[in-house]
Chains A and B, each alone.
Chain A
């Protein structure tokens, strides 16, 4: 039996393997990082981690000072305590999932994942089956069912075109690592100049190095941003981003945009529920096909519903 403990803010620790994933643990010998979002990084900026190359580069640009063993998708790393195979998670560029095997037992840790994969990532792949599944359940309610990326891309482009046609400046709100670049990538075919907030801009070249087309983009410049497609975060918008431009329309791009209430909370003109997390229905499919004996429900604000569904299927479920 592989024991699973909490580690750090969002991560887990496997004591038998002395392996921490997405978090630090005092007894950990190995720390694996799935992706570079800050809630998945080790508390100690000087430590040594295992991660993909893009993840390491993102971490460095965001202030990580430690060392990394670079791992590749498809690799299987043989440690003295266990074997770890690396799968692409489809969440953001470089995001990985880890398949841990020890003594004929296996555990699949998804970190944050998205299937079908975000088009600005290396894709999504997984092992056929696992004994234990630690699942990203951020959106684990049946009110969340994502549209296809094609449909979402047309929603984004239609909003941009319509807004520009009416001589308004379109502003897309999304997190500056991952979502922002995904938006640039999906809007690139419009061939319209785009500007992205500085915090997101400094991460873009890593995407381009991995051959993700981000179109005609530059760093946000207050003086010249009018009439461009703008990409920023909601907090930057509140702090004066493009506040000199009175006629603009704002689209909020997030899984949370599925909820009507964020329209008034964020003062958004348009809600585009484009998420880099797996939706409820894909979670059920994943659990069905990987057939785990137990699922650990992670990152969920309302885990009880998924637990209820899994238990009805005869799959043990626990909240982590």
Chain B
């Protein structure tokens, strides 16, 4: 079999899937990378395994939804989508796995397929053509034509790669990067660094293969993956004096690139959000900064006060906002880290050194930065934490002074100390079949609050959100046993339940969402406990939810005065 065929890539993916242990997976992938002769094929294979059909930072999407591929597959197999495909998908918990099985099992589908070893380059062209055409029908035509030339396992991974998400083989981008290092016998740290600054797994692989890792240079306006924080665990902290503390803002994380004339802002998922926040660009351009990359937070800021995330929401996803919106919800970019300055990436420097450079820059050019505090003991922490909450912020961040900028990783160098937003006693209204690892069980739950005595509604309960985590395996099993008896309706993968099972849900925040029946949604809802002791009579009401929300919005917010959370020179 030719090495550069897509089928070969899929067999490698399946082998990785069927292997336990990261070393063994790493070896399989590394052997494969080494076996690819041309740079072009290596580039494509690495991209397909690590990122998807398109390079992550290209922002390109094929826009083929799961319904588009599922209905195309049903057509191809000549089966009914509603009556046959959907129940099969419920059983497997995965649309692409269902398609793989049907393509293999149904004689009609088998007879239509004449697998030929499509080379990787041709797959790339198919992805491009899917990106070029718009409309479901056009896209489906390409899918059907492609699938005719593939084996079932190719079809499964073709769909997953197209989705630009996880391939669900227990081998994410970090593993791909370390397989590149193994394949070409390079230093894993250096490969990781090159991946970081190029933002491209494919390019990194080619640079490693051709012994050119040293030539990789950081490019402005290519977003870097963000360094992430872990929830605090007091035991792991040790000596507090090794950390800086700063307030944790209730805003939107962003990365700012500028060369002095042009500004680009990237969100945490590396999307370009510059157009949503024109005043930030204007502010930065007016400051005449040298080429710089900053990590920080976008917050609504008015009258020397930081406003809650709920108000920032009015700006998110809104391109080119009008004057009225700009006046009502003005935003500020608050920097807390410096990644590139004086023509050099500095994320390998210690935080304390980066901080010094950031402070210099802030003083010279007048850009707002966070205040950092030294903490000696937990009493200091408590005082700062209370003050952060008084400012309307979420809590504190602890950052290890000696840490470098650990892009794309959630390690213990940054720790977040947060106060949970609150909790609600809710009733389970619907259970949804899980996907992937949770296939075959009901793992996602729509939760209801009471509107029985609410004149605005006729129902007894309305949904307030959906939770799919926070329970133990044992609790999930118990819930699954119980819902069987409570199920009264079935809508494909969803069961409608008699409202009886009570769960306490913890959330980070309550937000307005006018597209929902309740008008509110929870941020990061998760199970705190199954409340066998409560009955649906005890469920919280919509009025309770409104109260929590109003309290948050109307909370007195301490102005940025003497003990400010930010510094503006």
Binding site for B on A (CB under 8 A): 141-145, 258-265, 267, 269-270, 280-281, 301-302, 304-305, 308
Contacts and interface: CB of A to CB of B under 8 A. Distances in A.
Given A261-B437, A261-B439, A264-B437, A141 B18 contact: no
Contacts of B20: 267, 269
With most chain B CB atoms within 10 A of its CB, the pick from A141, A265, A301 is A141
A261 B104 CA distance: 18
A262 B439 CA distance: 8
B90 A261 contact: no
B97 interface: yes
B437 A265 contact: yes
B83 A260 contact: no
16 contacts: A141-B91, A143-B92, A144-B105, A145-B101, A259-B92, A259-B93, A259-B97, A259-B439, A260-B94, A260-B439, A261-B439, A263-B18, A264-B437, A302-B87, A302-B90, A304-B87
B524 to A, nearest CB: 24
A264 B20 CA distance: 10
B18 A270 contact: yes
Contact of A142 (B93, B94, B97, B105): B105
Given A265-B440, A304-B87, 15 more contacts: A141-B91, A142-B88, A142-B102, A143-B101, A259-B91, A259-B440, A260-B439, A261-B94, A261-B436, A261-B438, A280-B105, A281-B105, A301-B91, A302-B90, A305-B83
B436 A141 contact: no
A162 B105 CA distance: 28
B488 interface: no
Contacts of A261: 92-94, 434, 436-440
B472 to A, nearest CB: 15
Contacts of A270: 18
Interface string B425-444: 00000000010111110000
Interface in B47-98: 79-80, 83-84, 87-88, 90-94, 97-98
B440 to A, nearest CB: 5
Interface string B205-233: 00000000000000000000000000000
Contact of A260 (B19, B88, B92, B102): B92
A272 to B, nearest CB: 11
B106 interface: yes
Interface of B: 17-20, 79-80, 83-84, 87-88, 90-94, 97-98, 101-102, 104-106, 434, 436-440
Contacts of B437: 261, 264-265
Given A143-B88, A260-B92, A281-B105, A304 B83 contact: yes
A308 B80 contact: yes
B83 A269 contact: no
B442 to A, nearest CB: 13
Contact of A302 (B91, B102, B436): B91
Contact of B105 (A143, A259, A262): A143
Nearest to A279: B105
A301 B93 CA distance: 14
B489 to A, nearest CB: 14
A270 B17 CA distance: 10
Contacts of B91: 141, 143, 259, 301-302
Contacts of B80: 308
A121 to B, nearest CB: 24
Contacts of B93: 259, 261
Contacts of B79: 142
A305 B82 CA distance: 10
B84 A305 contact: yes
A141 B79 CA distance: 12
Nearest to B101: A143
With most chain B CB atoms within 10 A of its CB, the pick from A143, A258, A302 is A143
A271 to B, nearest CB: 8
A143 B18 contact: no
Contacts of B87: 141, 302, 304-305
A304 B94 CA distance: 19
Contacts of B92: 143, 259-261
A142 B436 contact: no
Contacts of B83: 304-305, 308
Nearest to B84: A305
Contacts of A141: 87-88, 91
Nearest to A269: B20
A142 B102 CA distance: 7
A280 to B, nearest CB: 8
A81 B309 CA distance: 77
Given A259-B91, A269-B20, A143 B98 contact: yes
A301 B495 CA distance: 14
A267 B20 CA distance: 9
B414 to A, nearest CB: 30
Nearest to A259: B92
B102 A143 contact: yes
B321 to A, nearest CB: 44
Nearest to B93: A261
B102 to A, nearest CB: 6
A167 B326 CA distance: 68
A280 B106 CA distance: 11
A157 B405 CA distance: 50
Contacts of B438: 261
Contacts of A264: 437
With most chain A CB atoms within 10 A of its CB, the pick from B19, B94, B440 is B440
A262 B84 contact: no
A142 B98 CA distance: 9
Contacts of B106: 142
A305 B440 contact: no
Given A259-B91, A305-B87, A145 B18 contact: no
Contacts of B436: 261
Contacts of A258: 101
Please give me the 7 A-B residue pairs with the lowest Cβ-Cβ distance, nearest first. A261-B439, A145-B105, A143-B101, A264-B437, A308-B83, A143-B88, A302-B87
Nearest to B96: A260
A242 B434 CA distance: 32
A304 B491 CA distance: 12
A299 B297 CA distance: 56
B198 to A, nearest CB: 33
A261 B17 CA distance: 12
B84 A142 contact: yes
A308 B84 CA distance: 8
With most chain B CB atoms within 10 A of its CB, the pick from A142, A262, A267 is A142
